[in-house]
Structure 1
Amino acid sequence: MNGIVLQGVAFAVAGKPILHGISLDLQEQRIGIVGRNGSGKTTLLRLMAGLVAPTAGTVRLGGVDPAKDRRAALAAVGILFQNPDHQIIFPTVAEELAFGLVQQGLSRSEAAARVCAALEAEGRGDWAGQPVQALSQGQKQWLCLMAILLMAPGTILLDEPFAALDLPLQIRLTRRLAALPQRLVTISHDPAAVAGCDRVIWLEAGRVAMDGAATPVLAAFRAEMERIGGTDADADLAG
């Protein structure tokens, strides 16, 4: 399974820097990225997925630039956002699931057959014609994960995947994700969400503050968050 390689990656919006010179070679099976809100975590995932191009530096998925070769990127990486309503674009479940397959080159009939088979395998055959808006938030999140799995990417990027779910759904999703063969890159502000990862990267103000095994990185991250929380938590964000 090809990894994700970033070399000197920077990203800015309207001249405002978000990421600064990020260089990472991501080969591990389970990778976590932690940081406070505004640290650049989601921007980094969007760069990995090819949804945006870096202002400077390069991003490569198995040698492919995901921002320039969208078809290759779809086969290599999928991204699951925190809010499924930001990801879903079609009115019915079947249409939503078929879209990525058609983008990968399948005919509409081939895509429809694969969607029906996948829904049956999930015990959700009755979902096919359902309007997406009739689903609960947790069901929408599950739908987005199914859409990604149908495209069979080697890597799945997870942007705070548990944030909008209640505890039973968090447990179900955790169990399902743990069983997947794909590489998972999970971003979270919650250390517990990435404690079992092979590698954890701590982002602070758009830079890598620490990178290594989960236990020491998360211990340092917790200590710094406790230090900040013990003072005025917003003071370092002034200006």
Structure 2
Amino acid sequence: MTAPASPSIVLESAGVSIAPLDAAGTGVRSILKPATVTLAERRIAVIGANGSGKSTLLRLLNGLVLPSTGTVRVNGLDTRTDGAAVRRSVGFVFTDPLSQLVMPTPVEDVELSLRRLKLGKKERRARAEAILAGYGLAHLAHSSIYELSGGERQLTALAAVLAVEPAVLVLDEPSTLLDLRNTRLLRERLAALPQQVIMSTHDLSLAATCARVLVIDDGAIAFDGDPAEAVSRYREMAG
């Protein structure tokens, strides 16, 4: 796979709020406070407590969530007005792969992703099977999604998202449901990818391998920078 051109993800005073707080409809609650940040490094981790705003931040990056204030741009494309184009550029993998595996079998799910490439039916099937084989899933290509282990489902979801070669891969706590073996396999797969990878994780050792780490606390970026210092800051905050 050829490495995509280096993406530029820019948040300008981007924040997310929900309303109303009460039956009278008076008030809003801030989920993510306005942030201005440029994400350019090849590997970026986002860490923080559950409910801190990590997932909201990640979902801003491909338009799954739109900012209530400010803007989010990917290679100059505004997620609010160019959502479809942004999602072609930014692939998203959910914590629970069953949230996005919508077809009965792995090969059909990868084929679904490949439809945007306008391939013939036979070529699409052959390419889907080859992609799954590359993830060690050839023997499961025609199995029911529900017969797969959590790790096999996560790899299938990853294969389906990467089948169309997005420039950016965003993952929301990808190792949460995985055992040690599959966590190690996932790490190896991610390390070998040419894409920019941005992920939230509770695995601090995984976060420490990234070039840059953001610490999210109470809906705000509490730290942004060196991985070792970020992990140290987060441990202090959590302690």
- TM-score normalised over the length of structure 2: 0.87
- Partner of residue 191 from structure 2, selected from 174, 178, 184: 178
Task: Specify the alignment match of 2:216 in structure 1.
Answer: 203
Identity %: 37
Quick check: 1:163 aligned with 2:176? yes
Residues 54 and 90 (structure 1), Cα distance of their counterparts in 2 relative to 1, 3 Å cut: same
Task: Specify the alignment match of 2:118 in structure 1.
Answer: 106
| Secondary structure of residue in 1 paired with 2:78 | coil
| Counterpart-to-counterpart distance in 2, 1:120 and 1:34 | 32
Could you tell me which runs of 5 or more consecutive residues in structure 2 were left unpaired when the two chains were aligned.
1-5, 20-27
Deviation (angstroms), 1:108: 5.5
Quick check: 1:28 aligned with 2:41? yes
Task: Specify the alignment match of 1:86 in structure 2.
Answer: 99
Deviation (angstroms), 1:113: 3.3
Task: Specify the alignment match of 2:23 in structure 1.
Answer: none
Quick check: 1:6 aligned with 2:11? yes
CA deviation string 1:179-204 (max 9, x = no partner) = 11111111123422200111111111
Name the amino acid aligned to 1:106.
K
Root mean square deviation of aligned Cα? 1.7
Task: Specify the alignment match of 1:236 in structure 2.
Answer: none
Moved more, 25-34 or 67-76: 67-76
Could you tell me which runs of 5 or more consecutive residues in structure 1 were left unpaired when the two chains were aligned.
227-239
**Count of residue pairs brought into register by the alignment:** 225
Once the two structures are superposed, the pairs formed by residues 1-239 of structure 1 within 5 Å of their partners are 1-14=6-19, 15-102=28-115, 104-107=116-119, 109=121, 110-226=123-239
Residues 111 and 57 (structure 1), Cα distance of their counterparts in 2 relative to 1, 3 Å cut: farther
| Counterpart-to-counterpart distance in 1, 2:124 and 2:18 | 37
